[in-house]
Amino acid sequence: MAKGYRKLHAVEGQVGGEPLAPATTPHELLPSLLPALRAFARRFIQDAEEARDVAQEVAIRALSAKKIPQERSAYRSWLYQITRNTAVDAFRRRALPIPPGPDPVSPSLADRSVINAVAVRQALQRISEDHRRILLLIDVEGLSYAEAAQRLRIPPGTVMSRIARARAALLALLVEEEAIR
């Protein structure tokens, strides 16, 4: 079966050539769409395990959303948008491996690194407690959005919006501080 033909059937209510069962609620479509969402995530992430994790996180986000599209096509589009965003986030979170052994660093570069670390710590103290907490959980401890949401007992969507606002606030303070120097 041609690749474009399979995509066409997915849009028209079939996944992988299999017709979708009639659903009374949009969430009932989710299990039948998961294989297609995993395949879509694989376009961004080459690792199959990580693509499965992305699809699982998409399911969690979709099922915990307070407001969902009611039309089947809008629901599918919404799921694909969540998948794309989640896959891009996962791709960005990947850390490049650091080669073992000593890495010679020039003293001026080391001084600049210390200055940056101090500036970030000072800026963290100046932002709100909610922003500081979410930044520490996600960017320092490395928790996923779902894990941070569970720890803070807030919806994952709130975590996503709060981390975006927290990063923007931190960046604004760092830029302001750099302008003062």
pLDDT digits (tens, 9 = 90+) for 36-65: 888 888 887 878 888 899 999 999 998 888
Region for 35 from its dihedrals, namely left if φ exceeds 0, alpha if ψ lies in -120 to 50, beta otherwise: alpha
State the CATH architecture for 107-180: Orthogonal Bundle (1.10)
Structural domain boundaries in the chain: 3-93, 107-180
Rounded to 5°, angle at Cα 161 from 160 and 165: 120
Class of 3-93 per CATH? mainly alpha
Q: In terms of pTM, does the model score above 0.75?
A: no
Per-residue pLDDT 10s for the chain (181 aa) are 444 433 333 343 444 444 445 546 777 888 888 898 888 888 878 788 888 999 999 999 988 888 888 888 888 889 989 988 888 888 777 654 544 544 555 555 556 666 777 778 888 888 888 898 998 888 888 889 999 999 989 999 999 999 999 999 988 888 887 755 5
